[in-house]
Amino acid sequence: MTRPSEDDLIARYFAPLAGEGAFGLRDDAACLSPRPGYDLVLTTDSLVESVHFLPDDAPGSIARKALGVNVSDLAAKGAEPRGFLLNLMLPDNWTEDWLSGFVAGLETAAAEFSCVLLGGDTVKTPGPLALAITAFGEVPVGRMVRRTTARVGDAICVSGTIGDAALGLALRKTPILAAGLGFDDAAFLADRYLHPRPRHRLAAALREHASAAMDVSDGLAGDLAKMMRASGASAVVELAQVPVSTAARKLVDVDGALLHRMVTGGDDYEILCTVPPTRLDMLRKEADRVGIPIAVIGQVIPGDDKPVFRLGEVERRYDVGSYAHF
């Protein structure tokens, strides 16, 4: 079978997506500089088939996820997306149909997130499809929001709802769980697993009002533990305050144990941040303005224990995250 060369492939599929500084993808490198008064924020995430997405996921969904998870990191750092590089490792059995779908999804996501393609690399692999995206954002100099700077007494907030993606994945693996859910609710949860909605419109508000932030990608419990450890603090969370979607609520009402899966499962791509109490109203107002719900779920407390999750009288410390095998 004759395959297009890497150059042909770049010209046909990727060059139309190229942004300023990419030289039409006809060079070996790209050029990017922050505007005067801004720092460049760098983040990178790899995705491997069967680990980070499923083999039968639509190629456009995979592309969207790959870019979305990186833009989600930028958002949590208070950075506005600028551009990205794509490393694509294609197994021998790739098809032009697959690649067309992938590029179409990438184009839509890049436009939605205002993050242009700057360059990349396409290679063959004898193994599963894998890809990495490196994304670049801008923050005013010195204003990147850190994850190590939560302070005792700060409120702990999350955007959106938690646990939908974990349930969406569970439904795909165990369809019987969807019994009792309507089609729309099941579709909503499935979509939340497939299609991260990075909260880049929250970036400016986080810069102004958050003391620390990260995105929730490996599960709320593990990520909060990570942030607290990095900040030299602990936390208490009221499970009843953790925001849950209508669809997820229906499942939890039937099986309360699912709540634990929801706070330990990954792929939320919501913002987890700590906010000084005096700033809380201002953050809420800004979040309202951009249409992103924010909920207070707990508080930063002194100590070095893992965060406590309370539900009524019951307290629980999740042991996830620290032994994540990868």
Binding-site ranges for its own copies (CB under 8 A): 2-3, 5-7, 23, 26-34, 38-48, 50-52, 73-74, 76-77, 79, 85, 87-90, 118-128, 130, 132, 134, 136, 139, 141, 144, 146-148, 214-215, 226, 230, 321-326
Instruction: Give the number of other CB atoms < 10 A from CB of residue 79.
Output: 30
Smaller CB separation from its own copies, 38 or 100? 38
* b (16+ CB within 10 A) / e for 287-316: beeeebebbbbbbbbeeeebbbbeeeeeeb
| Closer residue to its own copies in complex, CB, 100/149 | 149
C-beta closer to its own copies: residue 50 or 174:
50
Residues 6+ apart with CB under 8 A from 41: 74, 77, 79, 136, 137, 138, 139, 144
Residue 138 or 185: which CB sits closer to its own copies?
138
Q: How far is the CB of 30 from its own copies (least distance, A)?
A: 5
Q: How far is the CB of 23 from its own copies (least distance, A)?
A: 7
Q: How far apart are CA 90 and CA 128, in angstroms?
A: 8
Q: How far is the CB of 250 from its own copies (least distance, A)?
A: 33
Question: In angstroms, rounded to a whole number, what is the distance separating the alpha carbons of residues 240 and 116?
Answer: 40
Q: Smallest distance, Å, CB 42 to its own copies?
A: 5
Identity of the residue numbered 23: F
CA distance 317 to 7: 52
DSSP reduced 3-state for 43: strand
> Nearest approach, Cβ of 140 to its own copies (angstroms)?
11
CB 124 within 8 A of CB 90: yes
CB-nearer residue toward its own copies: 118 or 259:
118
